[in-house]
Amino acid sequence: MSKDAHGWMMTAPNAAMVDSSFNSFPAQAAEVVIEVAGCGVCHTDLGYFYGGVRADHDLPLTLGHRISGRVTSTRGGYLPEVRRRIAEVERLDLDRLMQTRDANEGLAAFVAERPQ
């Protein structure tokens, strides 16, 4: 099942981003479609936007990576493999990345800034 989706597209450095609607597509063989709930941008994304870093792809471009969401469609019996790989990434994140000083400082700063 496909439904209309949207993303904020960078059309030029330092220009206002454009809300771009598109029709999401059904999953093809060995693919999944993810409904994105959130997406982070990093310093490189900001470099593309503010013009200090040349983008590797032609514009327009939707910036961001490290998305969070849910799988809405799969094809070719791929769902068990996706679930296994997602579990591996979750374990990596919890067992290794979240044990670092940077992750804990970032999390503490985030919690400290949240309204009570």
Prediction pTM value: 0.56
pLDDT-derived band at 41, boundaries 50, 70, 90: confident
Which token pair is 89? 């990434």
Domain tally for the chain? Answer: 2
Task: Centre a 10 Å sphere on the Cβ of residue 111 and count the other Cβ atoms it contains.
Answer: 8
Instruction: Kindly state whether residues 52 and 87 are assigned to the same domain.
Output: no
2 contact partners, CB below 8 Å, separation of at least 6: 23, 24, 25, 26
* Structural domain boundaries, residue 113: 78-116
Instruction: Kindly state whether residues 21 and 45 are assigned to the same domain.
Output: yes
Instruction: Kindly state whether residues 10 and 28 are assigned to the same domain.
Output: yes
Instruction: Kindly state whether residues 93 and 104 are assigned to the same domain.
Output: yes
Helix (H, G, I), strand (E, B) or coil at 51: coil
Last residue of a domain, one of 44, 61, 76: 76
Instruction: Kindly state whether residues 94 and 53 are assigned to the same domain.
Output: no
Q: Does the structure show a pLDDT above 90 at 12? A: yes
Q: What is the pLDDT of residue 3?
A: 59
| Average confidence score pLDDT of the chain | 83
Candidates 46, 75, 76; CA nearest to 61 is 46
